[in-house]
Structure 1
């Protein structure tokens, strides 16, 4: 009985940590532990937010009867963690933020089933879209807290690396070089290749934003690199051309949203990744013929493989 209880507790802990790791697209408990350390290093309030949202979403997934294997892999909990982080980021009152985090976390899980099925028919993954939808629904009801940025002077190489690492930290709503380094360590524990792409994505996106006129304080806070890092992680297995194209598109979308002051969060990453994946899927279904024109005939088997 004691052994069974310990195993159940261990499984629950691994599920919770994998839910956190899935924020950076890694189904790895060590990654989740590193992200938890990053939040604690930045602001313990963020750690509470992520845990509140992840637990709420996982409980809702169990009540909804979702696949247990997917729950154990963290697929049902990470959007809840993100929803909790968004609540504590945009709502100043702690009690209100906690209530919203619980409700929003559960909402991301309950809406995940039909939403993921609809996306799957189009060959697309969920990513952080449930969190975005739920957050956009409640955000107009509150006055967002003013964002704080860290003043930065590009006087040395260390300032550049701090800004890029802070971009990695912002993938989970944290900020700062130390949290970013912990996030990088967590991704490395799952995949060194993915860690390299995440670092490259944050650096490339930050550089492009700066060239387009973004401010140095935003770079220091990591606000310029996180969408590029997430896009690079999502497209890392699609080849370097697709990955770089996705990073570039995420920068363009974030720039456009910034012009209008829209709270897009990770929407540029999701939209850019979906766009690249849709294009790749379309090319697989309808490849160019020998003459360079699209081949119009498609087999049922090829359609089945891509659906």
Structure 2
């Protein structure tokens, strides 16, 4: 990846919609589904539909959270005068969906979670234009950084619980358990949990790009294995918390070459391990920082 050509102003995410032209879905629904698909960097309505299925299979309240966040962000982006092409590609709604999912993951009371989800999603939409402009000048995409910034502002004040790695399972780490943990890592890219949800997410990515689906699976596998070697708990591995940053980094750098993609995954693993050692709550920050680092390095070497 370090040897490939870098465009002066790379887009923040994949921008071209990849749905079949014969799709009968209405434009607003396609926009909403693409917002969900952009969580895993795929501007595809089928990907978004699979994300919906993963949330339903994992925890139905996550579906409501994603809907609240995406709708609030898309409406706010429209009011802010954002580009229609970005809106249709789902680029303006996915951080809102992530903000909604984050609120519901950390706040147990549904009413309070809904209120925070709407406010946080709206904040990501208004932050997006100046923040993405600042990053674009430096050749960087915004990825999930708007959601991270907004979440870190409200989380110390409101959150009533933390993300749990789930109960510890005493069974030995065999091949089946490893595969299940890797798939759970893929599911955690969208806050879903469990191997079946991970399979649905992979199918959704494959609907847009089989290559990207393989890279996401490979990134989750490498990151999960590396985190285990670095001392991550089996409970964290089983919950998928060891692999999702690696999967997202692989997706973000999928079109940049193997060397840079592997370097990005390695960097995300190290950043997550350091954060875990220091008891920092990072969410997708290792993915964002690793991707930015590789993009900046490629820009300098170009």
TM-score (norm 2): 0.90
CA-to-aligned-CA distance 1:181-222 (integer Å, 9 cap, x gap) = 000000000000000000000000000000011110100000
- The CA distance in 2 between the partners of 1:133 and 1:99, in whole Å, is 18
- The CA distance in 2 between the partners of 1:33 and 1:240, in whole Å, is 29
Shift of 1:155: 4.7
| Unaligned segments of structure 2, at least 5 residues | 1-22
Out of 136, 145, 159, the residue aligned to residue 177 of structure 2 is 159
Is 1:221 equivalent to 2:259 in the alignment? no
- The CA distance in 1 between the partners of 2:201 and 2:44, in whole Å, is 12
Report if aligned partners of 1:184, 1:199 keep a CA contact under 8 Å in 2: yes
Is 1:124 equivalent to 2:140 in the alignment? yes
Aligned in 2, Cα 1:144/1:267: closer, same or farther, shift over 3 Å? farther
Out of 250, 255, 264, the residue aligned to residue 273 of structure 2 is 255
- The CA distance in 2 between the partners of 1:106 and 1:177, in whole Å, is 32
Q: Which residue of 2 aligns with 1:235?
A: 253
Three-state SS of the structure 2 residue aligned to 1:203 is helix
Q: Which residue of 1 aligns with 2:76?
A: 60
Is 1:104 equivalent to 2:120 in the alignment? yes
Runs of 4+ displaced beyond 6 Å: none
- The CA distance in 2 between the partners of 1:282 and 1:77, in whole Å, is 31
Q: Which residue of 2 aligns with 1:290?
A: none
Q: Which residue of 2 aligns with 1:114?
A: 130
Report if aligned partners of 2:165, 2:241 keep a CA contact under 8 Å in 1: no
CA-to-aligned-CA distance 1:234-257 (integer Å, 9 cap, x gap) = 001111110000000000000111
Q: Which residue of 1 aligns with 2:3?
A: none
- The CA distance in 1 between the partners of 2:152 and 2:109, in whole Å, is 19
Report if aligned partners of 1:107, 1:134 keep a CA contact under 8 Å in 2: yes
Larger radius of gyration: 1
- The CA distance in 2 between the partners of 1:210 and 1:172, in whole Å, is 22
Out of 33, 42, 55, the residue aligned to residue 26 of structure 1 is 42
C-alpha RMSD of the superposition = 1.3
Q: Which residue of 2 aligns with 1:296?
A: none
Shift of 1:142: 2.2
Shift of 1:143: 3.9
TM-score (norm 1): 0.88
Report if aligned partners of 1:112, 1:130 keep a CA contact under 8 Å in 2: yes
Count of residue pairs brought into register by the alignment? 278
Q: Which residue of 2 aligns with 1:265?
A: 283
Structure richer in helix, relative to its length: 1
Higher RCO (CA < 8 A, seq sep 6+) = 2
Report if aligned partners of 2:165, 2:235 keep a CA contact under 8 Å in 1: no
- The CA distance in 1 between the partners of 2:147 and 2:45, in whole Å, is 21
